[in-house]
Structure 1
């Protein structure tokens, strides 16, 4: 993992305000990194980053995927499996059933499978962003699950 990270930010509707506040409070720490987000969250993050910029200054672009229920979670999962995401901030709502719960579970499964540092709430996000590894190169070790993919098949 390079010093400049590819950071995915996702939030369910009831958690968007908290994620936006986290991003606003950690604007400086996130500035050198590349952000990717699902649908509405991406638009809200772009708007947040633009509103506090000087007039005429170009604000940070966020790579926006589809909305989670429309396939954004699956797009993000594919990015994780292709090694295109280094860190995941996913503020998910444990109290509200989601119409795409299976996609959410699949996304979280891939984050664990590929050993991606993941924060699911404000406290874990603050711990993660304050880590000494956040702004340095870091080697993610391949998990034991890769033995399955590398196994020798017998005819």
Structure 2
């Protein structure tokens, strides 16, 4: 599965701790992240992370483009709801794309815990079925 990892500045430590705690699960998947978040996760865990631009410089939009092309299976986006973000329209667009394309989205530690446990149990297998159906339709 392709997994996006994004965190606002005040939530980066939380996401790094979360990925570190669940490193055995994340290691089985392809990881994508916005700039600094991806670097910090890679340095802390040794996991391979494909890094995009930072969020304000277009990283959120790059991940959104993957979602729109059905190339992203889950998003862990630890948002800071108490700090105004200069790229808030991009954040809103990314959340909207997850809803439009039915991509599981965790925006805090509680929902992330449920999502990662569901992934571990194979409860997102419908994403693979969806991708296979799309590939068959394209042939």
Q: Same fold (TM over 0.5)?
A: yes
**CA contact 2:118–2:124 (8 Å) conserved in 1:** no
SS of corresponding position for 1:130? helix
- Higher RCO structure, 1 or 2 (CA under 8 Å, sep 6+): 1
Q: Size of the alignment, in residue pairs? A: 129
Is the Cα contact below 8 Å between 1:128 and 1:134 reproduced in 2? no
Confirm whether residue 37 of structure 1 aligns to residue 33 of structure 2: yes
Cα shift readout 1:51-90 (whole Å, capped 9, x = no counterpart):
xxxxxxxxx3200000000011111100100111000000
Decide which structure has greater helix share: 2
**1:116 aligns to what?**
103
Using structure 1 for the length normalisation, give the TM-score. Answer: 0.78
**Contiguous gaps of at least 5 residues in structure 1:** 51-59, 143-155
- Counterpart check, 1:86 vs 2:82: no
CA RMSD of aligned residues (A): 1.8
- Looking at structure 2, the residues matched to 123 and 136 of structure 1 have their Cα atoms a distance apart, in angstroms, of 17
What's the secondary structure of 1:127's corresponding residue?
helix
TM-score, scaled to structure 2 = 0.87
Instruction: Return the index of the structure with the highest Cα Rg.
Output: 1
In structure 2, the residue corresponding to 1:63 is in which secondary structure?
A: strand
Q: Give the 3 Å change call, closer, same or farther, for CA 43–134 of structure 1 in structure 2.
A: farther
Unmatched segments (≥5 aa) in structure 2: 131-139
The answer on whether the counterparts of 1:119 and 1:128 sit within 8 Å (CA) in structure 2 is yes
Specify the alignment match of 1:72 in structure 2: 59
